[in-house]
Amino acid sequence: MLWDVATVRLVRTLKGHTHWVRSVAFSPDGRLLASGSDDKTVRLWGVQSGRLVRTLKGHTDRVTSVAFSPDGRLLASGSWDSTIIRLWDVASGQLVRTLEGHTHSVFSVAFAPDGRLLASASRDHTVRLWDAQTGTLLRTLEEPTAMVWSVAFAPDGRLLASGSLASAPDDKNVRLWDVASGQLVRTLEGHTNNWVRSVAFAPDGRLLASGSNDGTIRLWDVASGQLVRTLEGHTGSVESVAFAPDGRLLASASHDKTVRLWDAQTGALLRTLEGHTWKVWSVAFSPDGRLLASGSWDDTVRLWGVAP
C-alpha cells in the first residue's frame, strides 16, 4: 500500500459515551469497532455506518482496555474494577466469562496471535497469562517495582512486551518476556521518564515501539534490544502507539490532543491530526490499514481515512 498522508481526513466522529474513551480496537474483519470508557461501558460500533450496534454493561468502574480475539468471536475488557477481566460474546453481547485473580486495577489486555492466551497488565505489579477458552490462570509474571500499564504479544506469539509505571525514578524500563517459560528475556532502557504507557510490535516482529510520559516514542530492535530510533514531536505524554498492518506507518496518541503519523523506517513525522478537544488516549488501525481510530477524553471516537 502506498501511503499518501496528504489525503488523511476525518471520516466520522462517534458519539455516545458519556465519559472519557480510553481504548479502541477493530474487529479482525474490520466491520466493528470496540471502545472502552470511563462511563463503565464497552460500545460496539458499525465501522461503515458509524452506528452504535451494542452497549456492553457489567463493569463497575472505568474500562481501560478492549481487545478482540483473532477469530473475532470474543472481546476482552479490562477495568479499574480491580480483579475482573470480562470476556464477551461479540455476536450476542452476552458475558461469557469473568477472569479473577488480579488484586488491583487492570490497565491492558491482549490476545495472543493464535487466540489461545490472553495477557493482562495490572496495577498489582503483575502480568497474568490466561487460557482464553477456559479462563484458567496459567502464569503470573511479576514486576516488583512497577505497575504494569501495557502489554503486547509479538506476531509469532513467542514474546510478550510490557510497559510499566515504575515506583523508582531510575526504572524506565520496557520488558520482553518469554511466553512459554515466563522468564524475563530482556529489559530495554532509554526513556527519560519512569512511566511507559504503551507498547506495540511491528507486524514483522522486528521492531517494538514504546510510548512514554517523556513525550517520545522509541523504536527498539527486538532481537538485540538496541534502541533504533527516538521519535520526538509530541508536547505531552504518549498514551498509545500502533503500527499499520504493513508496518510502514506508526500512529501515536498524546495528551497534547493530537494523533501523529510517523514513517516507521525513517522516524520522520508525516502528519499531525488535530480535532480532538482533549487528551487522546488510544489509537488503532483497521485490519486493511485504511482507517485509524482514536479515542479521547472528549468522550468521542474519531475515524480517520489514512489511505485512498
Exposure of 95 in the CB half-sphere (CA atoms within 13 A): 13
| Strongest mean pLDDT among 62-71, 73-82, 141-150 | 62-71
Residue 172 predicted with pLDDT over 70: no
Domains of the chain: 17-252 (2.130.10.10)
User: Which pLDDT band, with edges at 50, 70 and 90, does 192 fall under?
Assistant: confident
The percentage of the chain sitting over the pLDDT mark of 90, rounded to a whole number, equals 84
Residue 275 in contact with residue 298, Cβ under 8 Å? no
Pick the closest to residue 218 from 174, 248, 177 (CA basis).
Answer: 174
Query: Which class for 253: exposed (0-12), middle (13-18), buried (19 or more C-beta within 10 A)?
Result: buried
pLDDT band at 194 (very low <50, low <70, confident <90, very high): low
pLDDT greater than 70 at residue 167 = no
Q: How confident is the model at residue 1 (pLDDT cuts 50, 70, 90)?
A: very low
Q: What pLDDT is recorded for position 2? A: 40
Q: What is the Cα–Cα distance from 67 to 70, expressed in whole angstroms?
A: 9
Instruction: Give me the pLDDT at residue 81, please.
Output: 87
User: How far are the Cα atoms of 20, 41, 162, 297 from residue 229, in angstroms, in the given order?
Assistant: 31, 37, 19, 29
Instruction: Decide if 145 contacts 168 (C-beta within 8 A).
Output: yes
End-to-end CA distance of the chain: 10
Q: Which pLDDT belongs to residue 145?
A: 72
Residue in the structure block whose three cell numbers are 504503551: 198
**Three-state DSSP class for residue 56:** strand
254-296: per-residue pLDDT in tens?
A: 999 999 999 999 999 999 999 999 999 999 999 999 999 999 9
Percent of the chain with pLDDT over 70: 94
Measure the CA–CA gap between 77 and 51, rounded to whole angstroms: 21
| Total residues belonging to the chain | 308
For the four alpha carbons of 141, 142, 148 and 154, in that order, the dihedral sign comes to: negative
pLDDT band at 189 (very low <50, low <70, confident <90, very high): confident
Measured CA to CA, the distance from residue 29 to residue 15 in angstroms comes to 22
Q: Give pLDDT, residue 173.
A: 78
Q: What's the pLDDT at 153?
A: 98
- Helix or strand holding residue 200 (H, E): strand 196-201
Contact 259, 252 (CB under 8 A): yes
> Strands of 300-305's sheet, edge to edge?
9-15, 300-305, 291-296, 280-285
Q: Which residue has the higher pLDDT, 172 or 250?
A: 250
Give the three-class secondary structure for 219: strand
- Yes or no: say if 287 and 26 are a contact pair by the CB < 8 Å rule: yes
Q: What is the pLDDT of residues 119-145, one digit of tens each?
A: 999 999 999 999 999 999 999 999 877
Q: Give 28-51 pLDDT, tens digit per residue.
A: 999 999 999 999 999 999 999 999
pTM of the model: 0.95
Pairing outcome for strands 259-263 and 249-254: antiparallel
Q: Read off the pLDDT band of 308 (50, 70, 90).
A: low
Specify the pLDDT at position 241: 98
